[in-house]
Structure 1
Amino acid sequence: MTELHLYLPGILLAYAALLVGLISPGPAFMALMGVSLGEGRRAGRYFALGIGSGSFCIGAITLSGLSALLVAYADAMFAIRIAGGCYLLWMAFKALRSAFRPAPADARAENGPLRAPAHYFSRGLALHLTNPKAILTWIAIISIGLQPGAPLWVGLIIVAGCGAISTVIHLFYATAFSTRPVIAVYRRMARWINGFLGVFFAAIGVKLLFSR
């Protein structure tokens, strides 16, 4: 650890690259917004923890070099794209179905009682693990932060730090999207928001399915 100052610029650059990606709305951001608005803070936070755990997993896999093999072998990446595309299309179907339903007095009424935490956690985890963009982003992050010849602990710091940042940021989003003022807006515009989410997920899902 005495050499930390030698690798600190790369580590901080990797963190900065992750933050830029988190600020840019993507499938995880939009899905978390929908869950937090429609099913509340508790559901959103468990969904966020699933996303954060997925980030840790992909980071660890990238550090081990396995994700580079996924990129090298087209069949593996093709399978990931198909799985991710189908999952996003399923989310699009659910969002569009909600958009065309009569709006309930409580925006969460149509969802019934909140499900078990594992349900939301697994949804967030599945979304992140089937997102090819997340894998490619992690490859870029490790490439930026891990200099040739750097010791393993540098990569572990990058993975741990980026995973923690991803988790904290998504927990913040879950909290922000489940505040009363935001929920009040959602109740007035639930159909439009769900319709937008449905179109967004469908577009990204179709793009994944037909991309080469």
Structure 2
Amino acid sequence: MYVISNGHNYIMKRKGGRICATCDINLALQFESKGLAICEINKLPAGYKNGRYAPKSMDEATIAGKSPNITAPAVKPNTYAFHMEDSEWLAELKKNLVITDKTMCNLKEMYSKVYGDLTAASDEIDDLEHAIEFKTVNAAQGYQLMAELKRARRRRREAKDAKLLLEIVMNTETREWGDGKLETAIEQLGTRQFTPKVRNDLFEKN
């Protein structure tokens, strides 16, 4: 059996047939052959097209999702415990490592949620744009539609930004920790630039 995975998440279908990402392999769509999985990848919504999804066998995906099992050492007879006072830097290191560990533990869940938010916002934008195109509305209704469209587009932008940042952190196979890519991306996302394709007049100062 095969599933569709990008190494972090799997593709699943909610009730009603809506595609979304999940970190639980048990909820993933399963296919009898690699070819069927590829066909499904070709039909994925636009928000998933650049997500590096590929067909993987269940065994391969299960092994990739496992982490080392670390257990506490067995206590031997006549063993005595002593509390060690940490130096300031070691205490700070432990604190930061715990935060890092908790954050990394939640990355897949966060990534799955962001993907879901991105898909939902994209679908809402599609609905709103078709409503603007096809419906005849008065000025108040038109303003309401445009306000909703703006909010939906900003939600999609936030989801895309979060997806980009999470992928930088999660993609440790092609980058080194502390290489500055994350800081650079955050800085670039703080200032938006857009070059109009046709309507320069829409962005010119009055």
Q: Please, what TM-score do these two structures have when normalized by structure 2?
A: 0.32
Larger radius of gyration: 2
More strand by share: 2
Q: Please, what TM-score do these two structures have when normalized by structure 1?
A: 0.31
